Amino acid sequence: MEPKIHNGALNAKGLRFAIVESRWNELLTSRLASGAVDALERLGAGEADVEIFKVPGSFEIPLAAKRIAETGRFDAVICLGVVIRGETPHFDFVAGEAAGGISQAALSTGVPVVFGVVTADTVEQATNRCGVKSGNKGYEAAMAAVEIANLLKAVGEDDSVGVTARQHAV
Ligand code: DLZ
């Protein structure tokens, strides 16, 4: 038996993306955003098809992501934040709410909402995960967003899940 295999193409041409960027630890989250934009650009996304929404901290990411996904204007939402255990007394709470809420935003809207929140024990660890040249979690999250957006399109041409945000807006 050779089952049919579906893969999400790494092609962002014609797709629309929202980036939700937390301002907490902004020196690092801005690097994540640069990495995400770089990945989208390399994969063919147009400048007008990528928008960035800034929120105060990672705790606020899920609500913003959910509302943005609900507009139907975007094929995927990329969530970026940095939570550092050593700097954050209620680390588990902030990181946990961000992770659970991001997942919930995807499940409740049916729009891919991907997790690009760095959770680290130290500033050094976090810095390494927000690399300029390599090891950038924002870049990786954007790649995942493109892949899952295309995979969902492949799930069924007749299914509304397979309609791009651009088609949805027409
Ligand atoms: C308050 C707080 C703290 C202590 N640490 C972080 C952090 O490491 N990363 C982050 O993204 N946000 C942090 N915040 C802010 C919360 O996410 C949130 O913005 C505030 O508690 C207001 O709701």
Minimum-distance ligand 1 atom for the alpha carbon of 59: 17
The mean pLDDT of 82-95, rounded to a whole number, is: 86
d(CA 39, CA 112): 17
Whole-structure pTM value: 0.92
Confidence of residue 159 (pLDDT cuts 50, 70, 90): very low
Task: Note the helical H segments in 43-164.
Answer: 61-70, 91-109, 123-129, 137-155
| pLDDT higher than threshold 50 for residue 93 | yes
The reply to whether ligand 1 has any atom less than 6 angstroms from the CB of 64 is no
Half-sphere exposure of 51 (CA within 13 A, CB side): 13
Minimum-distance ligand 1 atom for the alpha carbon of 84: 8
Q: Which distant-in-sequence residues (6+ apart) come within 8 Å of 129 by Cβ?
A: 118, 120, 135, 136, 137
Write down all domains in the chain, each with its CATH number in brackets: 17-169 (3.40.50.960)
* Phi/psi at 111 (5° precision): -100, 135
Q: Which distant-in-sequence residues (6+ apart) come within 8 Å of 46 by Cβ?
A: 13, 14
Please report, in angstroms and rounded to a whole number, the separation of the first and last CA atoms in the chain: 41
What the block records as the tokens of 54 is 């800034």
Give the other-Cβ count within 10 Å of 124's Cβ: 10
d(CA 130, CA 118): 8
Specify whether 90 is catalytic.
yes
CA of 58 to the centre of ligand 1 (A): 6
Q: What is the pLDDT of residues 61-85, one digit of tens each?
A: 999 999 999 999 999 999 999 999 9
What per-residue confidence (pLDDT) applies to 91? 87
What per-residue confidence (pLDDT) applies to 163? 60
Catalytic residue among 70, 90, 93, 121: 90
Task: Answer yes or no: are the C-beta atoms of 98 and 50 closer than 8 Å.
Answer: no
